[in-house]
Amino acid sequence: KKVGVLISGSGTNLQSLIDATRDPSQHIGAEIVIVISNKPNVEGLKRAEKAGIKTVVVKHTDYPSREEFDAAMTVELIAAGVEIVCLAGFMRILSNTFVNLWRGHLINVHPSLLPSFKGAHAHKDVLAAGVRVSGCTVHFVETDIDSGAIIEQAAVPVLPHDTVESLQERVKIAEHRIFPLALKYLATERIHLNDDNSITWNY
């Protein structure tokens, strides 16, 4: 399956997807054909270029509305023949039109054990709540933020002297393991998103 990855930053999850999809022993069944960033000059774009993958910058500030920004990304994705879209640290909210167009073929990695700690400050909220276990989730994207059907999760301990940075670093190690795994389930058609937002597992 041809995959497009949307990023906004360092792209360590992108790197894990590049490495896994290129490792024949992992049988991911997917090839990344395009990486789109809404921000220029980010580290993730350099990772894609180094891997010889087509990169496109679609700056949200160049478009008058969210719909038009998303439509510009869809044009690029379709031109590249994309069948699955992965959000890997993409920090823009997507329009309902975009989400509905790619529904069932659009997945995101979130740095908490959903449905706990939704939103853009998960690690900060986890530390403030004092929970001793956090983790990460790969899920189908729904029009409600961070609330689509869950494909894969991993638990990660929260340690007594953790900062946002130290916790993020530990959680990312788990993200880099489960994101390729979730992509594999989708690309090899082991999972299917139903209309009622449940997942059918074919194994």
| Residue 70 to residue 140: CA distance in whole angstroms | 18
Please name the residues in contact with 14: beta carbons below 8 A apart, sequence gap of 6 or more.
Answer: 5, 7, 32, 35, 44, 47, 48, 88, 89
> Could you tell me how many residues of this chain bind ligand GRF (CB under 6 A)?
14
Residue by residue, DSSP assigns 145-166 as TT-SPEEEEEEEEPPTT--HHH
Per annotation, catalytic residue among 27, 60, 105, 110? 110
The question of whether 110 is a catalytic residue gets the answer yes
One character per residue 33-72, x = contact with ligand GRF (rule: CB under 6 A): -----------x----------------------------
Q: Which is nearer to ligand GRF, 41 or 200 (CB)?
A: 41
In the window 128-167, what residues touch ligand GRF (CB under 6 A)?
none
Task: Report residue 202: phi and psi, to 5°.
Answer: -100, 45
172 binds ligand GRF (CB under 6 A): yes
| Binding positions for ligand GRF, rule: CB under 6 A | 9-14, 44, 88-89, 109-111, 172, 175
